Amino acid sequence: MNITRRGFLKRTACGAAALSAASRWGLAADEAPKLKIGACDWSLMVVEPGALEVAKAIGLDGVEISAGDPADTLRIADPAYRQQYKELVEKTGVEIASVAMGLLNNAPLATDPRGPAWVEQTIDATKDLGAKVILLAFFGKGDLRDRRGLKAAECDAVVERLKAAAPRAEEAGVILGLENTLSAKDNLAILDRVQSDAVQVYYDIGNSTYNGYDVPAEIRELGDRICQFHFKDGGFFLGKGRVEMEPVAQAMRGINYEGWIVLETAMPTRKRDEDFRTNADYVRTLFGMT
């Protein structure tokens, strides 16, 4: 295979960066963390099965897909709809990283009477798709805190609904990941009340940074109760904004995190594919994956 001088220099630079990352963690050069990089379908602006083809073109390993909008039966519960994803997984080699219940932001799990059924439908669908994590969103109307602090009644309701859903998730081998505006301490309090390994925290380093939390400390505090990560930093490329990425990576290595890093990143240049490649390459270099 012919390699141009420019290509050789690029490969050399990537190799040096990977060696540097490995040496910072005391790893052998070929011992990178076992991580996969995906993206949210809404961030890719393709909230349909075709998002997998977009991810393949960009060079991503997977896509976090949306469960659908509020309805008695969620779109993800339709076997024919899921079959479209299965066929594209087979065709592209791109995986379903997780399933996101973003609908809970406007139809909160704590208060919407359809919430328990939605969670059950999504558990069954996630198992069928071969994924392991469901993101349960708690923002907007579903936020579990306000300016006065925790919303106690809503937290109590969520705990009871999670307790009811946990056995089904355990049986399916699926984890319900809570993504919210709470601190690590408050999230741990919820998990301790639910008492199931099938309920964990879906940690977003961007949200937590912008909410004023000490992200590396929280990652270490939560430890193996983090099921998955969102990476983003406002309108910036990763490594160019407010999130201190090196300490984040060190903390993730410290808890021996393995699994998906899902990009929910912005597009600073408004060029979707190029911007996602830039962020994915940054993550690979950061973790010594190149």
Q: What is the mean pLDDT of residues 74-90?
A: 98
Q: What is the pLDDT of residues 221-255, one digit of tens each?
A: 999 999 999 999 999 999 999 999 999 999 999 99
Q: What is the pLDDT of residues 138-168, one digit of tens each?
A: 999 999 999 999 999 999 999 999 999 999 9
Residue 71 has pLDDT above 90, yes or no: yes
**Residue 33 confidence class, pLDDT cut points 50, 70, 90:** low
Look at the alpha carbons of 67, 196, 250, 289 in this order and tell me if their dihedral is positive or negative. negative
149-150 and 175-179 beta bridge pairing: unpaired
Separation between Cα atoms, residue 132 and residue 169, nearest integer Å = 10
Residue 51 has pLDDT above 60, yes or no: yes
Q: What is the mean pLDDT of residues 119-139?
A: 98
Mean pLDDT of the chain: 92
Separation between Cα atoms, residue 38 and residue 260, nearest integer Å = 7
Q: What is the pLDDT of residues 190-213, one digit of tens each?
A: 999 999 999 999 999 999 999 999
> Left (φ > 0), alpha (ψ -120 to 50) or beta: where does 266 sit?
beta
pTM: 0.90
Separation between Cα atoms, residue 267 and residue 216, nearest integer Å = 25
> pLDDT value at position 31?
62
Residue 13 has pLDDT above 50, yes or no: no
Question: Which residues, 6+ apart, have CB-to-CB distance to 224 below 8 Å?
Answer: 255, 256
